[in-house]
Amino acid sequence: MATTYLTRTFGSAGGGVFKWTYSFWVKRSSLGEKVITGARFSGSFNGIIRFTSGDALEVYDYRNSFILQKITSRLFRDTSAWYHIVVSNDNSVASPETEIYVNGVKETSFSTTNEYSQNETNSFNNDYPNYIGQTGASSQYFDGSMSHFHYIDGTAYDADTFGETDATTGIWKPKTAPSVTYGTNGFFLKFENSGAFGTDSSGNSNTFTVNGTMTQNIDTPSNVFATMNSLGAYRNQPTMTNGNLTLTGTGSSTTWNNTVATLGATQGKWYYEFKITGGSQFLDIMIGIINTSKATNPTTNLYTQNGSCYYYGNDGGEMRQDGGETFNDYGAFAQNDIIGIAYDLDTYNFNVYQNGTQIVTDFALSSNFQDGGIIIPSILVYEQSVGSANFGNGYFGTTAVSSAQNPDDGIGIFEYDVPTGYYALNTKAINAQEYD
């Protein structure tokens, strides 16, 4: 949702002028200043919830000066995880405190603290235009995913109202139907209707208008899918968009752009797809896997790190092992080809599919992949090459797959048939494979 946002202007201020609660889940795609939500009348009158340029969480209300400003000491830089954020306010009391919770835990340490005064008019529960994913200033967008977005008009709730700890995993998870009173201007956006993402499920019909192109993602707080890792320390990372699933080379001459995924495994059978979409060097893409315990030199290209990697590609159809050693030529890429990678960490084999047809069968992984290290997808793009990964979320960039094939466990959506016994890289499937 990097250039996508939602808007709604309420006809009047909220019924509980001094009491309100926000609750939402977000997954970041990039770091730096990113606005999550806010209410804005003008540059002089606005309330904002955002990540700062330094990746702290900030809540502020500016009405010619800051009447509320709280900036957490803690930073939030994990682009592979969902954060549940609750901001709860009641400034009708004698000593108001705007409370901030992240994943069920109340934030208590702040670099900046300035609370509302009692009964002070605020921007959040006013009749200003409301924004989700933007501020009203066109350059300030959220970049990432959102889920279960609640706004409560007239009641200050804590985090336990909207989330709970899973008894089995110990992980904080959403309550899908919390017991709340939304109030006049309250709303609940599930983002479940791909044709109407702004639909309000609170019963209030406070539906938002979608601006730009929003895509649905089955990556949820309850089940996280792999993406490419924007925080990887490897040499020359590509530009990442569309939730860190579309990769674009930096354009530098004779430069490989290296990246790895956010999830991996030590055992089991795993499948993902990569669509080659364009660029002047679209044939020069390497798609494969890497052993993170062996790839220890972040200053060199991943394909040169002996004993750590297997790739298919590089000017069409070559298998490359470890330090750039080339094996059989399996035929050239074509633009818009979809390459399927299926790797077996139980028998240590590597398989490749081109547009659904198997072209590499049980290519043996070396003993370097049998040391218990975490094996993760790795993709290298050259110069201005462009392509998009599908780890099971059902999209190549913003284009949905056309055939919607599923793994055996039903978790994940792919363009082509998933080989029997292979699964999409997501936390539910990994936990089932690793710990059953």
DSSP-assigned letters across all residues of 414-434? BSSPPPTT-B--BHHHHHHHH
* Whole-number pLDDT of residue 207: 95
- List strands edge to edge, sheet with 386-390: 239-241, 246-248, 386-390, 269-278, 338-344, 349-354, 357-364
Type of residue found at 92: S
Beta-bridged to residue 329, according to DSSP, are: 318
- Sorted by where each starts, the structural domains of the chain and their CATH numbers stand as 5-211 (2.60.120.200), 239-435 (2.60.120.920)
The pTM of this model reads 0.87
* Whole-number pLDDT of residue 251: 73
**29: which residues sit within 8 A by CB, 6+ positions away?**
2, 79, 143, 144, 145, 227, 230, 240, 241, 243, 244
* Whole-number pLDDT of residue 326: 61
* Whole-number pLDDT of residue 253: 65
Type of residue found at 419: P
Low-confidence residues of the chain: pLDDT under 70 = 1-2, 137-139, 233, 252-253, 279-283, 295-299, 304-307, 314-318, 321-328, 434-436
For 224, counting Cβ atoms within 10 Å of its Cβ (0-12 exposed, 13-18 middle, 19+ buried), the class is buried
Strand duo 269-278 + 285-291: pairing: unpaired
Instruction: Determine the Cα–Cα distance for residues 26 and 76; give it in Å rounded to an integer.
Output: 11
Type of residue found at 76: F
* Whole-number pLDDT of residue 89: 96
* Whole-number pLDDT of residue 140: 76
* Whole-number pLDDT of residue 173: 92
